[in-house]
Amino acid sequence: MKNQNNLFSLNKKTIIITGGAGLIGAAFCRVCAENGAKVVIADTNLRGGKKLVEKIKKETGNKNIVFSRCDITSEASIKSLIKFVLKKFNKIDGLINNAYPRNKNYGRKFEDVTYKDFCENVNTHLGGYFLMTKETARIMKKQKSGNIIFMGSIYGFSAPKFEIYEGTHMTMPIEYAAIKGGIINLTKYLASYFGPYGIRVNAISPGGVSDNQPESFVKKYVRYVKLAPRRMTMQEDISGVLLFLLSDAAAYITGQNIVVDGGWTL
Ligand SMILES: NC(=O)c1ccc[n+]([C@@H]2O[C@H](COP(=O)([O-])OP(=O)(O)OC[C@H]3O[C@@H](n4cnc5c(N)ncnc54)[C@H](O)[C@@H]3O)[C@@H](O)[C@H]2O)c1
C-alpha cells in the first residue's frame, strides 16, 4: 500500500490555471500555492494577474508562482504559454479550465440574445476550453500523466429558477446552459479518451458564488439551499474540492462532475 501521509500534497506539481486572476481563479491559485504546487496564472488580465502573483507569493511564501498572459481563444497564445511553462518547469501536471470569456452583450434575457452573440459566447467559452485542453493534453499524453479539471456549473445540468432574478438586472443566459452542459459532457468524453494515457479529467460544478449580488437576489437564491446555515457558495467551498481532485487522494477518480452547491439542485 502507498504511503498516505501526504495524500493532498501538490509538491512539485506544475498547475496551469486559466482565468487565474478572477474571482474563483484567485482562490484556486492560492490553494495550489499553499500546497506546494508550481502555479501558472494564465489570464488575459495582465495587471490583475501580476498583482495576484505578488500577493500569493507574499501570503504563502511559495516563490514558484508566475503569470503568463494567455487568451484561451487563440491557438498562438496557448502555444506560447505551453512553451513558456515547459521551459520554466519542464512538465505540466494539471490544467484548470476556469477562464470566463464573454462578449459585451453577454447576460441578456433569452428574447434579446442574437444568433451572433449566442455563437460568439459559446465559441469563446466552450471552444476556448476545447482548444486549451487540446494543446495541453498533447504534452500530457507524451508524459503519460496529467490532470485536467473543467469548471462546470449547476446550470450545466439543471434548469434555472428564473424567479430568483426578478427585480434585478441579472438573468441566467441561454448561452451559459449550452456552454456548461457541453463542458460537463466534454469531461466524460475526454476522461474516456485520455484514460489509457494516465490522464484524469473531472469537472467541478459550483452553485452561485457570493460576489456582492443584490440582497433581494441572495434572499431568493438561498431559499433553495438545503444545507444549514443557508448561504451562497464561497470560493473556499470550491478550492477544497479542487485540491482533492488535483491530488493523489483522487488518483482513481475520472470522468466525474462534483457538484458544490449546498444541495441547491436537489
Ligand atoms: N461566479 C460564479 O458564481 C460561478 C458559478 C459556477 C461556475 N462558475 C465558473 O467558474 C469559472 C470562473 O468564474 P469567475 O466567477 O471566477 O469569473 P471571473 O470573471 O471573476 O474570472 C474569469 C477570469 O477569466 C479571464 N478571462 C476572460 N476571458 C479570457 C480568455 N479568453 N483567456 C484567458 N482568460 C480569460 C478574466 O480576465 C478573469 O480573470 C467560469 O468557468 C465560470 O463559469 C462561476
Minimum CA distance residue for ligand 1 atom 37: 45
User: C-alpha cell of 84?
Assistant: 513558456
Q: Which atom of ligand 1 is nearest to the CA of 233?
A: 3
Q: What's the rounded Cα separation, in Å, for the pair 62 and 205? A: 28
Query: Cell numbers 438561498 correspond to what residue?
Result: 222
Minimum CA distance residue for ligand 1 atom 15: 23
Q: Dihedral through CA 157, CA 162, CA 164, CA 167, nearest 10?
A: 150
Going from the Cα of 22 to the center of ligand 1, the distance in angstroms, rounded, reads 6
Q: Which atom of ligand 1 is nearest to the CA of 73?
A: 31
Going from the Cα of 4 to the center of ligand 1, the distance in angstroms, rounded, reads 34
Q: What's the rounded Cα separation, in Å, for the pair 64 and 62? A: 6
Q: What's the rounded Cα separation, in Å, for the pair 86 and 103? A: 31
Minimum CA distance residue for ligand 1 atom 30: 71
The single-letter DSSP state of residue 230 is P
Provide the 10 A C-beta neighbour count for residue 205: 25
75 near 127, Cβ under 8 Å?
Answer: no
User: Which residues neighbour 189 within 8 Å (Cβ) at sequence distance 6 or greater?
Assistant: none
Going from the Cα of 151 to the center of ligand 1, the distance in angstroms, rounded, reads 9
Mutate to test the pocket of ligand 1, among 100, 176, 222 (most ligand atoms within 8 A of CB): 100
Q: What's the rounded Cα separation, in Å, for the pair 264 and 178? A: 20
| Tens-level pLDDT at each residue, the chain (266 residues) | 666 778 999 999 999 999 999 999 999 999 999 999 999 999 999 999 999 999 999 999 999 999 999 999 999 999 999 999 999 999 999 999 999 999 999 999 999 999 999 999 999 999 999 999 999 999 999 999 999 999 999 999 999 999 999 999 999 999 999 999 999 999 999 999 999 999 999 999 999 999 999 999 999 999 999 999 999 999 999 999 999 999 999 999 999 999 999 999 99
Q: What's the rounded Cα separation, in Å, for the pair 209 and 18? A: 18
Nearest to 73 by CA among 52, 46, 50, 103: 103
Q: Which residues line ligand 1 (CB under 6 A)?
A: 18-19, 21-25, 43-45, 70-73, 98-101, 128, 151, 153, 206, 208-209
Minimum CA distance residue for ligand 1 atom 21: 22
176 carries an active-site annotation: yes
Q: Which atom of ligand 1 is nearest to the CA of 232?
A: 3
Which is catalytic among the residues 100, 176, 189, 193? 176
152: left (phi over 0), alpha (psi -120 to 50) or beta: beta
Q: Which atom of ligand 1 is nearest to the CA of 26?
A: 16
107 near 29, Cβ under 8 Å?
Answer: no
Q: Domains in the chain and their CATH numbers?
A: 14-260 (3.40.50.720)
Task: Give per-residue burial for 165-185: e unless 16+ CB within 10 Å, then b.
Answer: beeeeebbbbbbbbbbbbbbe
Task: Give per-residue burial for 85-112: e unless 16+ CB within 10 Å, then b.
Answer: beeebebbbbbbbbbbbbeebbbeeeee
Is residue 42 classed as helix, strand or coil in its secondary structure?
strand
Tell me, yes or no, if the pTM score tops 0.85: yes
